Structure 1
Amino acid sequence: MPDFILRRAARVLLVDRAGRVLLFNGFDPARPDHRYWFTPGGGLEPAESPAAGAARELAEETGLQLTPAELGDPVRHEEVEFPFDGRWYRQEQDFFLARVTSWQVDTRGFDEVERHSIESHRWWSADELERTAERFYPEDLPGLLRQLTAVPWEPAC
């Protein structure tokens, strides 16, 4: 059994008017062949609330600036375990939903690790996720995306 680094995180399901979710394509630096798609977000600062962390990470990784209040309450909570860069993590994370008409992603706020391990981004529909052979997280994202986009919405911007 590996020794885990305990971590709190917040992630954002950024969904456009077409019902597509923004995902980043990256890899584990210790396992460069282990590629996957994942939502914007990351670890929380000490004493940072999940909503504040989600808003900060969203701004850093996409350029979209929303307040914690605009993100509202989490739409999902989970605990995951995973290796990254030779270390094992046990991460408790909250997902927030942010809806936009459209958004031109700006990754200038990436930190050094993100600049090194994230290669691209794209918007994915639930159908595209179900058809792809590529790895993405969370693994049940197509169903979650359908569930969340079935509700009428107002864009954050």
Structure 2
Amino acid sequence: MFASKGRLSTLLLRRWHRMLGLPRQSPPRWYRDRLREELYERRSATTHWGKVSETSDVLFSISRALYDGVPTRQLPALSRHIPAYMYMVAKYTLRWKFYRVAGGMCHAPCRESIREVINPDRDHKLLEVALRHDIDPVSFKLAAKRLRRFWPLLP
């Protein structure tokens, strides 16, 4: 779990991860591999907002690993990365809700079980999500396409 259990930011992140309810990944190496990828993308970012976005992905990778009980690194202090933490919560919450709404639009059998945060901008990702949740891929893709017209998604 999170190292410093007394910090308000840690408690809020723990509650947020519980709300997202993402499935635990296996093997544990998956978390370190994601973090390594995100750190590489962070180093490659060239614009200010690109760096904020990639930093948010790094923070998400670390906080998710800690929440799932797979220690990778400690989270940097909130005070040093307030924009990235805010961006992270907004970005992943919007994606999580996007998939649940898209599932409802195409009458998914168990909309409440849809707990995804991958970027829905790529059709092959939508197909993966549809197959994972026994949703008709064609209707799910159409619902997501309609929803993307107005749903605020952060890169």
Which one has the bigger strand percentage?
A: 1
Which one has the bigger helix percentage?
A: 2
Whether these two folds match at TM > 0.5 is: no
TM-score (structure 2 length as normaliser): 0.28
Asked which structure has the greater RCO (Cα within 8 Å, sep 6+), the reply is 1
TM-score (structure 1 length as normaliser): 0.28
